Amino acid sequence: MYKNGYSIRRIPEVVADSGSALVHFFSDDAFNMSGFNISYRLNACPSRVAGVDCSGNGICIDKECTCNGYWGGKACHLEKCPNNCGKAKGRGRCDQHGCICNTGYKGYDCGQLAVNGYWETVSILNFVPPGSASHGAAVWRDSMYVIAGESYGRGTMLYVYDFNGNVWETPHIVQSPTPRYGHSTVIYGDKIFLYGGVLGNLGSTSELWAFDISAKTWENITVKALSCNESYLMCGPLKVAGHTATVVMNVDNKKADRMVVIFGHSPNFGYLNTVQEYYFGEREWYIVNTRGFPVKGGYGHTASWDPLTAKIYVYGGVVSESEASQVLSRNLYSYEPNSRTWTLLADAPSSRFLHSATFVSPGMMLVFGGNTHNDTSHSFGAKCYSSELLAYDVTCDSWHVLGVPPDIQADLPRFGHSAVVFEGSLYIYGGFDGEMLSDMLKYTPGQCEHFHPSDVCLNARVGSKCVWDLTTGRCVDIQTMITEVEFMGESERCPILNRSSMTNRIFQNTERCSRFEDCASCTQTTSDCIWCGNTCSYKECRNTSNTKALSAARSVEDCPMEGGIQCHLLHTCSACNTQPECVYTTKCIPKPTNTSSEIYVPGAQCKVCSEFNSCLNCTVSECIWCQNEGRCVDKNAYTASFPYGQCREWTTMNNKCRNNGTNEKSQCNFYSTCAQCRDDPACGWCDDGSKTGLGKCLPGGFGGPTLHTESLPSTTCLPDKWHFTTCPKCQCNGHAVCKANTSICEPCDNLTTGDHCEHCIKGYWGNPVNGGKCTPCECNNHATHCHPETGKCFCTIKGLNGEHCDNCDNTNHYYKDAYNNGSCYYDLTVDYQFTFNLSKKEERHYTQINFRNTPSKADIDADFSITCSVLAKMNITMRKGTSREEVPIFSGYNCTSMHHKFAKSEYNFGMENNTQTTFYVYVYDFQPPLWIQISFSQYPKLNLQQFFITFSSCFLLLLLVAALLWKIKQRYDIYRRRQRLFVEMEQMASRPFSQDGTHLG
């Protein structure tokens, strides 16, 4: 509980009043952890310091601490006046009960300024309900109603907390719904509405219940749902958990008041990106079509109503990344319920789920806690339990982190808690931090009027939205100016960004816009993105060519009509098939326009993991089976299905199923050894008394066998033969006895071997554990041993396969011979060199490989070549025509490197069936790894006379062609010179001339 700066103040303590306890540790198979140290003491008091009682700050009396004067808590680990209450700084003073803070200071140590907002713990002296998580909470007048939640079976359906009286009450109600968790809770009028949730190991439900606060009665509401024309369509209300519900009021028409249900995880459709609406007045239920940004819905997000903008703000959650994986989301969306439009807002600083998000005052959403663990197989610092307090400024579309005091008498990190607002303060109840919590925290936002001038006001981080009133020159809370907000300039609402911040925002928006690949995603954000034909750009289109400027789409209304549903966001077959535009093959894709009706898979044929009720059919269908819960879930839904560690062990492999496809009261009989049985905390080993290790695994505890839900006869297993935390010394599985007073088995009988006679000897297979039998391997004399568990033969000849080495691997060109049915041969093609590399793990059993070749050219000798990388033996035989007799050529030859010529004069080559010769090459007695290079070739000899005649003819022909081309070139050059001369003469003749007469006297 204390690692890398993370610690909790509450001492996780387990007390066993019976004098005995069983501590069972389990961890997720898919995540590597460093382990832990655990210690225990007898008849001791709790302590935060090892080796001393009461943390060294008190004395232990009757297992309870009596603390010294200035210490408190069950382990005397809480200082009553930490930091001396800041007395030196004038913040407060200390008395025997704790700090008394001066005006303006708050907190456990008087270290928090009230004007900046402050945290408190709500101390309740009397009854406190059992801890719970993923419960529902709603405020009615001066009381908080906590509905159900996961409490590991310790809580009831309803608890009520009185804010004024600071007490918890458990109302007496005659009939209540089945307890659940992961449901939604809203209050409308004087009724609390509860929808969905998980009913233990029964999975999610679609029930809608209403609790009448005045009458203290529950009603199971039957809604009027839209009729579904096809069985595969999505029909509400859906079975769902991890969703949210928000009440949207209609001022003009009370009948239009509705509950808006957003996202969640459905066992049938996976992670939902749908919005459902329930109308209180008409009791009608709809699944509505939305527009705008193509959202990716999920589990464990938050949805908060902001009265300033009349929108619902949805943040975080676990979302589906693919058909087999999920990821935490950091996206923040706004949903406008009247136009049903989604908009993507600024990303949060981190991703999380099962957190809380609340508007204590308009315009400022406060996010607390949550699970931020997003690592895969190793930890990189992401915390399972967050204590962060984030604030989202609606008017500025910006996030910031609010400080949390280090000294507070509570453990802040948690997830699965609830958050409500009462009299301007945020109350946080319960949650999970490794165990279920029942404490209450209180956060009160600061006061804006204490901040000035305007830049200090707008940068105030006090948990409420501060704006600057130009009229009065004062800093005020935005809720005092709700009607004037839309007329305010940005300088009155948001801090002025410096040059560096502005540059960084431009860079982030540019990069963000470039990631969007469709018009709706591009235009429905707050990042000033515009759609430019087929790309998304920041603020303006970048026209890189000389063509006309592209027409830009700046809003979703400007987007082209095509597009519709984005099929790639749907990761289950059932969800995909609810959309007529999509079709599911191995994943959800847009349905081609020319698709035939046969390709469309109706929802009835989709495999829904939650409908499988046995491990066998669950794992065969590539789902996850939870052993102890007996539930089947999607591969990407483990986190959403078991958020609080309810599943101690899961599997995706059918050979690890414990109930063998049958529903049994106990799965203990799956274990066949005492060691396996002992590792399951619900099972124990009953020895048969033979002192050979034989026995059976039965459900039970330290006191003896029991089904936990019902008792077993006392004769089921006698006390002296029952073993719960230990095993009998001799464990020879019934195949031997042990030497006197030792655990060493005498020589094993019944064809077994091993320290505990737990394996079959070579040549036999089976499971000899707990008296099992060994069976001989049946391999048709082509293997010496087989797989010890399945009996599949390890064939010694390459190319043989099958359970009993009775087939040839035709896929890889190994074929049986028509005249030799005992083995398989690789057909070597003439004039090719083949390399066989036997180095894989599955090839370690091979000791022989066979080849064959039939030379096809009748008038050319056949050259044979082979090279072996390790020492091996080789036989070469031949068979003529249809003769069944193989004639030996080489026997027992050492296969290192060999070249040999088979003369055409000695063997009949060619393709005539009655004359052809087939060579057989057997390489054997080797031990992998090795490689073999082998070839048969029939290249014709070089005829020198024919070569020189051909060469001379070609050379003379080349000379003749060259001479001819030279003569043609000469003629062409003479022709060009003549033409040029004609042109020159014409130009000279065309020059201007005239006569001038001269008289000489």
| CATH number of the domain that residue 368 is part of | 2.120.10.80
Look at residue 766 in the predicted model and tell me its pLDDT: 94
Token output for 94: 């200390």
Residues 273 and 386 in one domain: yes
Residue 61 three-state SS: strand
Look at residue 823 in the predicted model and tell me its pLDDT: 82
Percent of the chain with pLDDT over 70: 90
Residues 691 and 576 in one domain: no
Residues 103 and 53 in one domain: no
Amino acid identity at 293:
F
Average pLDDT over residues 733-738: 94
648 pLDDT band (50/70/90 cuts)?
confident
For the chain, the maximum distance between any two Cα atoms, rounded to a whole number of angstroms, is 169
Does the pLDDT of residue 320 top 70, yes or no? yes
Look at residue 597 in the predicted model and tell me its pLDDT: 44
Of 28, 151, 24, nearest in space to 701 by CA: 24
Residue 829 DSSP code: P
Say if residues 577 and 603 touch (Cβ distance below 8 Å): yes
State the residue for tokens 């249900």. Answer: 261
Look at residue 4 in the predicted model and tell me its pLDDT: 46
* Cα atoms in the 13 Å half-sphere on the side-chain side of 19: 1
Average pLDDT over residues 249-265: 92
Does the pLDDT of residue 20 top 80, yes or no? no
Question: Residue 1001 class from Cβ within 10 Å (0-12 exposed, 13-18 middle, 19+ buried)?
Answer: exposed
Does the pLDDT of residue 379 top 70, yes or no? no
Last residue of a domain, one of 493, 521, 539: 493
Look at residue 596 in the predicted model and tell me its pLDDT: 45
Cβ-based neighbour number of residue 794 at 10 Å: 17
Does the pLDDT of residue 2 top 90, yes or no? no
Of 236, 257, 230, 235, nearest in space to 246 by CA: 257
* Cα atoms in the 13 Å half-sphere on the side-chain side of 27: 9
Is the residue at 688 inside a domain?
Answer: yes
Is the residue at 976 inside a domain?
Answer: no
Residues 6+ apart with CB under 8 A from 977: none
Look at residue 237 in the predicted model and tell me its pLDDT: 92
Higher pLDDT, 6 or 621: 621
Of 275, 281, 181, 294, nearest in space to 237 by CA: 275
DSSP-assigned beta bridge partners for residue 764: 776
Average pLDDT over residues 973-997: 80
Residues in the chain: 1001
H-run or E-run covering 935: strand 930-937
Strands 291-292 and 341-344: parallel
Last residue of a domain, one of 738, 771, 804: 771
Q: Where are the alpha helices (DSSP H) in 210-333?
A: none
Residues 839 and 760 in one domain: no
Average pLDDT over residues 537-554: 70
Look at residue 912 in the predicted model and tell me its pLDDT: 63
Residues 590 and 705 in one domain: no
Average pLDDT over residues 200-229: 88
Write out pLDDT tens, residues 802-845.
899 989 999 999 998 877 666 899 999 999 999 999 999 889 99
Token output for 523: 């235009």
Say if residues 608 and 574 touch (Cβ distance below 8 Å): yes
Question: Residue 210 class from Cβ within 10 Å (0-12 exposed, 13-18 middle, 19+ buried)?
Answer: middle
377 pLDDT band (50/70/90 cuts)?
very low
CA distances from 669 to 197, 628, 665, 686, 758 (A): 33, 14, 10, 11, 18
Residues 6+ apart with CB under 8 A from 818: none
Higher pLDDT, 563 or 666: 666
Domain residue limits at 541: 510-558
Average pLDDT, the chain: 87
Residues 105 and 42 in one domain: no
Does the pLDDT of residue 191 top 90, yes or no? yes
Residue 562 three-state SS: coil
Cβ-based neighbour number of residue 834 at 10 Å: 15
Residues 437 and 457 in one domain: yes
User: For the chain, first and last CA: distance in Å?
Assistant: 138
Does the pLDDT of residue 756 top 90, yes or no? yes
Residues 616 and 633 in one domain: yes
Average pLDDT over residues 383-409: 89
Whole-angstrom distance, CA of residue 285 vs CA of residue 193:
14
Look at residue 5 in the predicted model and tell me its pLDDT: 45
Residues 6+ apart with CB under 8 A from 177: 148, 157, 194, 207, 209, 218, 220
State the residue for tokens 């830049």. Answer: 455
Residues 574 and 634 in one domain: yes
Residues 57 and 195 in one domain: no
Average pLDDT over residues 705-720: 77
Higher pLDDT, 545 or 906: 906
Token output for 176: 């209540």
Last residue of a domain, one of 621, 656, 691: 656
Does the pLDDT of residue 149 top 90, yes or no? yes
DSSP-assigned beta bridge partners for residue 862: 902
Higher pLDDT, 279 or 999: 279
Look at residue 300 in the predicted model and tell me its pLDDT: 96
Does the pLDDT of residue 1 top 50, yes or no? no
Average pLDDT over residues 873-894: 89
Look at residue 546 in the predicted model and tell me its pLDDT: 40
Write out pLDDT tens, residues 680-704.
888 999 999 898 999 999 988 888 8
CA distances from 797 to 762, 966, 996 (A): 18, 69, 116
Residue 92 three-state SS: strand
DSSP 598-667: TT---GGGS--GGG--SHHHHHHTT-EEETTTTEEE-TT-HHHH-TTS--S-EES-GGG-SSTTS--S--
Give per-residue burial for 104-130: e unless 16+ CB within 10 Å, then b.
ebbbbbbbbbbbbbbbbbeeeeeeebe
Alpha carbon 361 to chain centroid distance? 36
Does the pLDDT of residue 81 top 80, yes or no? yes
Does the pLDDT of residue 717 top 60, yes or no? yes
Look at residue 44 in the predicted model and tell me its pLDDT: 83
Is the residue at 343 inside a domain?
Answer: yes
Is the residue at 245 inside a domain?
Answer: yes
Look at residue 446 in the predicted model and tell me its pLDDT: 94
Average pLDDT over residues 795-808: 91
Is the residue at 984 inside a domain?
Answer: no
Q: Is the peptide bond preceding residue 453 cis, with omega within 30 degrees of 0? A: yes
State the residue for tokens 């984030």. Answer: 390
Does the pLDDT of residue 3 top 50, yes or no? no
Looking at 164-168, 684-688, 702-706, 933-937, which range is the least confident one?
702-706
Say if residues 426 and 358 touch (Cβ distance below 8 Å): yes
Whole-angstrom distance, CA of residue 415 vs CA of residue 388:
11
Does the pLDDT of residue 409 top 90, yes or no? no
Look at residue 522 in the predicted model and tell me its pLDDT: 92
Average pLDDT over residues 484-496: 78
State the residue for tokens 């089904």. Answer: 707
Token output for 836: 């066989």
Residues 364 and 253 in one domain: yes
Percent of the chain with pLDDT over 90: 53
Say if residues 827 and 819 touch (Cβ distance below 8 Å): no
Residues 223 and 307 in one domain: yes
Is the residue at 818 inside a domain?
Answer: no
Looking at 399-413, 518-532, 597-611, which range is the least confident one?
597-611
Is the residue at 806 inside a domain?
Answer: no
Is the residue at 297 inside a domain?
Answer: yes
The pTM assigned to this predicted structure is 0.77
Number of domains comprising the chain: 7
